[in-house]
Homo-oligomer: A and B are copies of this chain.
Amino acid sequence: MTISPSWDQPATSLYTDHYELTMLQAALHSGAAHRRSVFEAFARRLPDGRRYGVVGGTGRLLEGIENFRFGPAELEFLARNKVVNSQTIDWLANYKFSGNIYGYAEGDSYFPNSPILILEATFAQACVLETYVLSVLNHDSAIASAASRMAGAAGGRPCIEMGSRRTHEESAVAASRAAVIAGFASTSNLECGRRYGVQTVGTAAHSFTLLHDSERAAFAAQLQSLGADTTLLVDTYDVEAAVRTAVELAGPGLGGVRLDSGDLLAQAREVRTLLDSLGNTGTRITVTSDLDEYAIAALAAAPVDSYGVGTSLVTGSGAPTAGMVYKLVSREDDDGTFVPVAKIAKNKTSHGGRKHALRRRDAKGKATAEVIGIGHRPPDDGDDRPLLQQFMVDGVLTPGWTGAEGVRRAAERHRASMAELPGSALRLQRGEPVIPTEFQEAS
Show the binding face of A for B, using Cβ within 8 Å: 7-8, 10, 12, 14-23, 25-30, 32, 35, 37, 39, 64, 73-74, 77-78, 81, 83, 85, 123, 127, 130-132, 134-136, 138-140, 162, 164-174, 188-191, 193-194, 200-208, 210-213, 217-218, 220-222, 224-226, 230, 236-238, 261-262, 311, 314-316, 320-321, 323, 326-328, 331, 333-334, 341-348
Contacts and interface: CB of A to CB of B under 8 A. Distances in A.
A15 B23 CA distance: 36
A277 to B, nearest CB: 24
A168 B174 contact: yes
Given A81-B193, A164-B135, A19 B172 contact: no
A83 B35 CA distance: 52
A77 B32 contact: no
Contacts of A346: 261-262
B315 A320 contact: yes
Contact of A190 (B18, B28, B316): B18
A65 B134 CA distance: 30
Contact of A171 (B170, B201, B230): B170
11 contacts: A15-B173, A19-B205, A22-B226, A26-B226, A27-B208, A30-B225, A74-B194, A77-B194, A134-B165, A139-B167, A169-B170
A17 B236 CA distance: 20
Contacts of A22: 202, 204, 226, 230
A221 B29 contact: yes
A165 B138 contact: yes
A279 B35 CA distance: 36
A441 to B, nearest CB: 19
- Number of this chain's copies in the complex: 2
A212 B15 contact: no
| Shortest beta-carbon contacts, A-B, top 4 | A19-B202, A18-B202, A30-B221, A170-B170
A304 B85 CA distance: 30
A18 B200 contact: yes
A172 B221 contact: no
A188 B321 contact: no
Contacts of A217: 30, 32
Contact of A165 (B39, B131, B333, B342): B131
A67 to B, nearest CB: 11
Contacts of A20: 202, 205
B134 A23 contact: no
Contacts of A173: 15
A19 B188 contact: yes
Given A7-B10, A32-B221, A190-B16, A211 B162 contact: no
Contact of A210 (B205, B213, B230, B328): B328
A14 B190 contact: yes
Contacts of A172: 15, 131, 135
B194 A328 contact: no
A19 B203 contact: yes
A194 B13 CA distance: 12
A207 B327 contact: yes
Contact of A83 (B73, B190, B328, B345): B190
Contacts of A37: 211
Given A77-B194, A190-B14, A139 B127 contact: no
A19 B134 contact: no
A345 B261 contact: yes
Contacts of A210: 328, 331, 341-343
Given A136-B168, A236-B344, 17 more contacts: A19-B205, A20-B205, A21-B190, A22-B204, A23-B208, A29-B225, A77-B190, A81-B200, A83-B190, A127-B208, A136-B169, A138-B167, A167-B171, A237-B343, A261-B346, A311-B321, A314-B321
